[in-house]
Amino acid sequence: MIRKTTIKDVAKEAGVSIGTVSYVINNSAPVSADTQKKIVSAIKKLGYHPSSIAQGMAKRRTNLIGLAVPQNHIGAFSDYMMLDLLRGIADVVTSRKFHLILDFQENEKNNCSYMEMYNSKTIDGMILMSPRRFDRNFEKLIDAQFPFVILNSSIQQPSCCCVDVDNVHCGYLATKHLFELGHRRIGFIAPDDLQYYFSFDRMEGYRRAYLEAGIAIDEDLVQVPPKGKMGAGAFAVNKLLGLAEPPTAIIAGSHCILESALTELKRREIGIGKDLGLIGIDNSPLCTWVKPQIDAVAIPVYEIGKEAAEMVIDQIEKGPSSPRRIILPGVLIKRESAVSV
């Protein structure tokens, strides 16, 4: 590795002190046009770039943001959304002159690797994706007034900054859409055994739509299949279709549910979009790869990433603020699977 040029080299080349060089780099003090010019051309000539870590040392600011990604985020963000989220975060992080450090949580143990980034003072702030419910590590961050925001975990933690999608509204949107198409008996398949808030919230939205419509819910219509990625949707579909009075439409409460429900529906050769309406919460490539294409409520993942990043960086730059919460609405995408009846 070749030795890199430092601020000293620039100072010598321009015949000034390193302090003055620093002033023009940071524009942090008035400098005469003349010396300014000398310094600028010295910088150019030597191809000088300040060392971010030396700057970090002196300014007590690394300009690094950590993103903690849970090992299996069965939650609202499936793999298919992860990249969009990253792009959302990266876009603002970059434009605000920060860098993003990715940290995948390794194991199921309580020891959270994201705390290591914090402890070692590597990062100025952190975005915490779907921390586990029993995870209380981040309380240390609160105590330390360390800038961070929690993503996608409608945690009842009023002292944290959060950004999330409005899951209740997502459930409501899907249900309302089906109502408007004339459906009255709508099946709802809840994801993840109701183990997460988002799951519960989506179901809640379903209930609100019914309430608003003034129709009593037949509880047989809401299915909470036992946990387990595989087959939960299929299981629930069979329950629903086995009812004395089966639903005319079904809401799949998550991408995973949709996947397995769809498989079963196709296996049974049910006429989706003809004999049965279908809509998913979570939009994924699956929805358009399949015939008929599936209506869905899309999670604004990119925007969630953006907002989260803005939020941490605001905290870093403007100092701690009172905890903010941003709740973004889901977006209904009409396609071919939610027949009118």
Interface ranges with DNA (CB under 7 A): 3-4, 6-8, 15-23, 25-26, 28-32, 34-36, 48, 50-51, 54-55, 57-60
Is position 282 an interface residue for its own copies (rule: CB under 8 A)? Answer: no
Smallest separation, CB 283 to its own copies (Å):
14
Q: Provide the sign of the torsion angle of the four alpha carbons 296, 297, 300, 304, taken in this order.
A: negative
Is position 269 an interface residue for its own copies (rule: CB under 8 A)? Answer: no
Question: What's at 61, amino acid-wise?
Answer: R
Smallest separation, CB 215 to its own copies (Å):
34
What SS3 state is found at 331? strand
CA gap 257, 267 in Å, rounded = 15
Report the partner that residue 290 touches, choosing among its own copies, DNA, none (CB closer than 5 to 8 A by kind). its own copies
> Tell me, what DSSP letter sits at residue 327?
E
- By beta-carbon proximity to its own copies, the closer residue of 205 and 305 is 305
Is position 111 an interface residue for its own copies (rule: CB under 8 A)? Answer: no
The strand pairing partners of 281, in sequence order, are 297
Smallest separation, CB 320 to DNA (Å):
19
> Tell me, what DSSP letter sits at residue 272?
B
Classify strands 99-104 and 186-189 as parallel, antiparallel or unpaired: unpaired
Smallest separation, CB 325 to its own copies (Å):
22
Residue for token pair 């579909």: 237
Smallest separation, CB 233 to its own copies (Å):
13
Is position 28 an interface residue for its own copies (rule: CB under 8 A)? Answer: no
Q: Which residues contact 214 (CB under 8 A, 6 or more apart)?
A: none
Site track for its own copies across 136-175, x = CB under 8 A: -------xxxx-----------------------------
Is position 32 an interface residue for its own copies (rule: CB under 8 A)? Answer: no
> Tell me, what DSSP letter sits at residue 324?
-
Is position 270 an interface residue for its own copies (rule: CB under 8 A)? Answer: no
Residue for token pair 């942090």: 28
- By beta-carbon proximity to DNA, the closer residue of 35 and 238 is 35
What SS3 state is found at 204? helix
- By beta-carbon proximity to its own copies, the closer residue of 50 and 323 is 50
Cβ distance 249 to 187 under 8 Å? yes
Smallest separation, CB 2 to DNA (Å):
11
Question: What's at 127, amino acid-wise?
Answer: I
Report the partner that residue 101 touches, choosing among its own copies, DNA, none (CB closer than 5 to 8 A by kind). its own copies
Let me know how many helices (H) and strands (E) the chain has, helices first. Answer: 13, 12
Cβ distance 256 to 191 under 8 Å? yes
Smallest separation, CB 167 to its own copies (Å):
23
For residue 233, which of 258, 269, 266 has the smallest C-alpha distance? 258
Smallest separation, CB 139 to DNA (Å):
23
177-206 residues in contact with its own copies (CB under 8 A) are none
| Segment lying near its own copies (by CB under 8 A), choices 89-97, 129-137, 166-174, 331-339 | 89-97
CA gap 195, 73 in Å, rounded = 13
Report the partner that residue 26 touches, choosing among DNA, its own copies, none (CB closer than 5 to 8 A by kind). DNA
Q: Which residues contact 59 (CB under 8 A, 6 or more apart)?
A: none
Give me Rg for the CA atoms of the chain.
26
- By beta-carbon proximity to DNA, the closer residue of 1 and 216 is 1
Interface residues with its own copies (CB under 8 A)?
A: 1-2, 4, 49-54, 56-57, 62, 64, 79-80, 82-83, 86-87, 90-91, 94, 99-104, 106, 113, 117, 119-122, 143-146, 259, 262, 266, 285-286, 289-291, 320
